[in-house]
Each structure stands twice: as structure tokens, then as C-alpha cells.
A and B are shown apart, each in its own frame.
Chain A
Amino acid sequence: MLAFIIRRLLILPIILFGVTLIIFMMIWMLGPERLIGTYVKSPEALKSEKSVERLIQKYGLDRPAPEMYFKWLGNVLKGDFGYSNVGRQGVLQSILELIPYTFELALYALIPVVFVGIWLGVIAGAHQDKLLDHGIRIFAIVGWSLPDYVFGLLVLLIFYSYLKWFPPGFLSDASMKVLRDGPWKHYTHFVTIDAILNWRFDILWDAILHLVSPLLTLSYLWWAYILRITRSSMLEVMRKDYVRTARAKGLSEKVVINKHVKRNALIPVATVSGGMIMQLFAGTVIVETIFARPGLGRFTATSAVTLDYFSVIGAALFFSLILIVTNLLVDISYALIDPRIRLS
């Protein structure tokens, strides 16, 4: 097991190197005239054609691609990811500052996804073709068919425009002022947890109100997804001979479902959940943009639109890192769930 983890960690830099290469090439193909936008700080600098040429030369954008790439890579290895126009500071600082916002959203989305999704899936599987099952399946098909950008706008329309329950954004102005000017101590940088630690339940309530719609948008699709996988896996296991054996033992239906069916049915669910965690992070790009929340997702979206290529590469690198680490964790937990894998 340890050898497996070490092997996977050794591959990590190679994968990251490949990721930087691919993303850099995609950005490079835009051509120097577009890339120079990253360096232009004011419209005046673009007054004459000549200054653009001069800027391209100055920043080495006319150099061959390998040269540009290795220059950038050398800086990265020194810890310099370049300057982010979107973040108005270094790329690394911007990303580090925005991580808590996105993690808070993605991790909170994960909890209802896993628990509600599995719970509904188990119920649907245990009551196959009953009314309850049909209801849950309709819920799942709707969730699975609605793209998050459409569903997000619907949520905004209903809960903000019409019902005025859940506002978009991150916090209300009053709360933001407290966060900026104090009294406020940053413990974890997760605003909900910090609010409890600061004993400011008004801010906690405010943060929750702002979290509801993005969480709903981010997780509905994945509720549906996990639910469908759990349900079909349940149905498969229910037909297994050992479930019949369990019934023959005289166990109650509840024990049969919980102890014999559910435990075996959750193995494939654990596998897909790993991939889903990454998809949740990807989903923050759209959700943070729709609900105007600060975070890595919106940072990536804005950087891409404004051709802030240092930021785009930095964000892409960071998302790859999350993907690789979660995949590793999933493989480890998979071995823990299934005794047959652990022993062989």
C-alpha cells in the first residue's frame, strides 16, 4: 500500500509537467498580439502600433515557443507564477487567497451530494417500481437533464427575483464590512466556520443564505448522478444469491437492505464519487460566475475571458493538482472499503 502511494506521488510531477506543456501550447497558439494584452496596464500604452511591437519584443513574446515555455517554467520553479491582472497581484497569491472560498462551496456541496444522493438511491432501489421509486427517478432525470447554467439561472429567478429568499453574491455589505474592518479574526478562512468561532451568528446566517442557491445549483446534477448509480447498483446486488441467503436466515428486510445490500452496492458509488469531486470543482467555474461569488472558479472564468494567460495556466495547474490528489485518495479509500482488494 505504501509503495503504491509513493509510486503515485512520484508520477505527480511528470503529470503536472505534461499539463503545463499542453496548456502553455494552447495559450501560445493565440499569438503574441493577443497575449500582449496581459502586459498592457492602461489603454494609453496601446495608442500607436509601434508601442505594441515594442512591448512584444520587450516581454519576449516573439521568441520561439520552447524558449518562452522554459523561461516561464524556470520562474514557476522559483515560485514566480507571474502577475495576475484579474487578481491585481501575483498569480500564486491570488489562488491561495481564493482557495478557501471555492473549497467551502465544493466541500459543502459534496456533503448533500453524497448523503442525499446515496439515501435517495437506496430508497429507490429498495422500492423498485413502487410510487416512491418513480418519484425519485423523475427527480433524478430532471436533475440529470438540466445543465447547471440553466438550472442556476432558474434558481436565481425563483429564489432571488421572485421569492427574494436567497440573494446572490458572497455576503451582504454589512457583513463584508465586518470582515474587512473587524472585529473579525480569520481562523480557517471558511466564512461559515469563522463566523461560529467569532461568535457572530448573524454573519453565519448571512453566509448560509448566500450559500443556498449556489449549493443547490452545484449539487442537484450530482445528487441525480449519485442517486442513479446507487439505485442501479442496489438493484444489481438485490438479485445476488447472498441476499437470498440473508433472507433465508430470517433477517428483517431492514437488516437485509442495510447490512447485505447497501454495503456491497456502495463500492461502485465510491469509485464514481472520486471523479465527481473533481467535477464539483469544475462546476464552481459556472456557479461562482452566475452567483457572483469570489473564488477560483470565477477567477478562472474571468482570466480566460480577459486572456490573462498567467492566471489561466496557474488555475489549470492548481485544478490538475486537486484532480490527481483526489484520485489518489479515492484509490486508497476504495481499497479500504472492499476487503477483497485490500488483501490481494
Chain B
Amino acid sequence: MVETGKTTVREEVLTVKNLVKYFPIRGGVFKTIVGWVQAVDDISFHVYRGETFGLVGESGCGKTTVAMTLMRLYNPTSGSAYFGGKDILNIHGNELRNLKKDIQMIFQDPYSSLNPRMRVKNIIAEGIKTHRLATSKQDLLDKVAEMMEKVGLSVDHMYRFPHEFSGGQRQRIGIARALAVEPQLILCDEPVSALDVSIQAQVVNLLKDLQNHFGLTYVFVAHDLAVIKHISDRIGVMYLGKMVEMTDKRNLFNHPMHPYTRALISAIPIPNPELKKNRTILVGDVPSPINPPSGCRFHTRCPIAQAICKEQEPLFEEKSMGHFVACHYAK
């Protein structure tokens, strides 16, 4: 990050443009498509090199789908994402496999995301071998040992199976596994939500240390605002498959513009019972992504919704410097 006066010149490492991911719903005798789940609908954002981009929203809002699609574990319905000059949503075969050397992912559930029949050494070594990063067997072993040390695992545990570790340790294996191929960008899909709060802090701090050490860029998906606030530099807020607000952390927490963001932030508990808070309470449930509301998708629960919100979808615009909002009445 190079700051030159008021404007900031930063390299965009990942640029996502109009990403759309619909999942078909099949039914009937012949399993024909009867509808679509609009999991991610027209999302654009960019991530700068060396930063942590937080992606936050309620469960089912599509934030994990964004990460999975960028990792190409799902194929996008449409849209493009530029990484290193290439549109990573439209590459195939070897090119796609090579991409996975540069972009890695840390998964949510450390219990199920590690193959129960493989030893830790093989779990970590597999990526290194696939991408031919080790020169010899000894080099491979050294690399695995180095990774295990970096994430705070004892090298003696190299030949153990995943079930012999605790949740926090397993997530460290998952992190070592992702780091082993020396990626530039890591997509973290709720990496701490399956862990105890005390362990969460350890893992989040580990991720921060590793970021400084290796100069990594993170896209950090989470539903926990406290975690997001702790780790992110910039944050995107999602609601029902749409990005509603995106700006840097300080701006978002101090001057939230979108009514949904304001409601979310007002819902963060303050550990002081004396303090009375002015909470915005949202009524009702998140509408179904199968038949999302017309116009602004948030209008059914929005405290300041007007007639126009129901008819016209607000544009995702830059309302002030680096502060993008999709709301007719953003202020």
C-alpha cells in the first residue's frame, strides 16, 4: 500500500465484475429445471494487494457462494473476475488447475474438510507435489515441516491422522495446506466460525501474522462482525445475493450509509449493561432467493423504504471516495 497524499495508488489483485451465480432447482419426473436460486446476483468488487477484504452478511446471502465461485468450485452463471491479467472465471483445464497454485481457500469446517484417511504430511504435501514445487523428496519433507512450524503445529505430528487433532489444530492443518503452494490470494470461507471463541482469536491472529510474513491477500468471508472488524481492511456487506455497501473498515463502522449495514452494526452487542443503545431492529425474515423482492431487495424489511424502492433497483454507486452503496436514500 503506497499512500501518496490524499489519493491512494494501490494495485488491484482481484477485480470481480458482475458476478452472477444461479443454482437450478430441478423437479418433476424428468428432473427439469423448475426455478433458480439467485444465490449471487450481479456483484462487483475489487481487492487490493496485501489487504484483507471482508465479506459479511446473514447466512444464505451468498457470501460463501462468491468465494466458492472465485475458487471455481462452482461454475459461474455469468460475469468475470480478473486476477493477474486473466479472467479466472473463463479458464479451463490445465490453466484452471494452475490457477489453484495462486489462489487457495481455507474452508469453514475443519472437521470434515480434511480427508480422514490421509496423514497430515500427505494432506499438506499433496498440493506441493501437484504443482511441482519441491525439487526432491527431502525438499518436500522440509517444506511440509516448515509449513507446520509456521502455523504452530509440532513437526512430530506429521504422521498423525486428522482425527487425532482438536478443532483449532485441524484448522491450522487446513491453513498450512492452503499456504503450502505459496499462493498470492487466500479465500477464507468462515475459517473460524466452527471454532470456540478462545480458539477463534488464536486462528485470526495466526492468519494476520501469516499475512504479514508472506505478503498475502485475503478475501475473508464471515457472518461475525466482531471478527470481520478485527481482521479486515475493507469490507463488503451482502444482502440476498447483492452487495449493498462496500468501503474501508473505519468508514463502514463510523459512517454506514445503507440502512441494512446500520441495522447490522447496531446489533453488535456492547459489553456494558449501563449503556442504552439506539438499536434498529429488522422485522421479518430474509426473503427467499428463489423469488427475491422486486426493486431493492431490502425494501421488505427496510425502515426507510419508499415507493420507489419497490419498483426501481438502486445502483451500486460510489457515493463518496471509495464508499460504494446501493440505496436510493443513502446518506
Would you call B177 an interface residue if the criterion is a C-beta within 8 Å of the partner chain's C-beta atoms?
yes
Q: How far is the CA of A155 from the CA of B105 in the complex (A)?
A: 54
Nearest residue (CB) in A for B126 is A249
Contacts of A242 in B (CB 8 A): 112-116
Find A241's partner among B98, B107, B130, B164 (CB 8 Å cutoff). Answer: B107
- Looking at A159-167, A272-280, A335-343, the stretch in contact with chain B turns out to be A335-343
Residue pairs across A and B with Cβ atoms less than 8 A apart, 18 shown, are A242-B113, A242-B114, A242-B116, A245-B115, A246-B115, A246-B126, A248-B71, A248-B100, A250-B97, A250-B100, A250-B131, A251-B126, A252-B97, A264-B115, A264-B116, A340-B116, A340-B161, A343-B161
Most buried by A among B99, B109, B116: B116
Nearest residue (CB) in B for A245 is B113
Given A244-B107, A245-B107, A339-B161, answer yes or no on A250-B112 (Cβ-Cβ < 8 Å): no
Q: How far is the CA of A339 from the CA of B159 in the complex (A)?
A: 12
Would you call B65 an interface residue if the criterion is a C-beta within 8 Å of the partner chain's C-beta atoms?
no
Q: Is the CB of A249 within 8 A of B116?
A: no
CB distance from B111 to the nearest CB of A (A): 8
Interface size class of B (residues with CB under 8 A): 20 to 34
Given A250-B100, A250-B101, A250-B131, answer yes or no on A264-B117 (Cβ-Cβ < 8 Å): yes
Nearest residue (CB) in B for A246 is B115
> 10 smallest A-B Cβ distances: which pairs?
A250-B100, A241-B112, A241-B113, A242-B115, A249-B127, A250-B97, A248-B105, A245-B113, A242-B113, A251-B130
CB distance from B311 to the nearest CB of A (A): 40
Contacts of B73 in A (CB 8 A): 244, 247-248
CB distance from A274 to the nearest CB of B (A): 20
Would you call A260 an interface residue if the criterion is a C-beta within 8 Å of the partner chain's C-beta atoms?
yes
- Number of chain A residues close to chain B: CB under 8 A: 21
Residues of B participating in the A interface, judged by any CB pair closer than 8 Å: 31, 71, 73, 97-101, 104-105, 107, 109, 112-117, 126-127, 130-131, 161, 163-164, 174, 177, 181
Nearest residue (CB) in A for B174 is A245
Q: How far is the CA of A252 from the CA of B130 in the complex (A)?
A: 9
Contacts of A255 in B (CB 8 A): 130
Q: Is the CB of B163 within 8 A of A340?
A: yes
Nearest residue (CB) in A for B108 is A241
CB distance from B84 to the nearest CB of A (A): 15
**Proximity string of chain A (214-231) to chain B, C-beta cutoff 8 Å, 1 when within and 0 when not:** 000000000000000000
Nearest residue (CB) in B for A261 is B115
CB distance from B67 to the nearest CB of A (A): 10
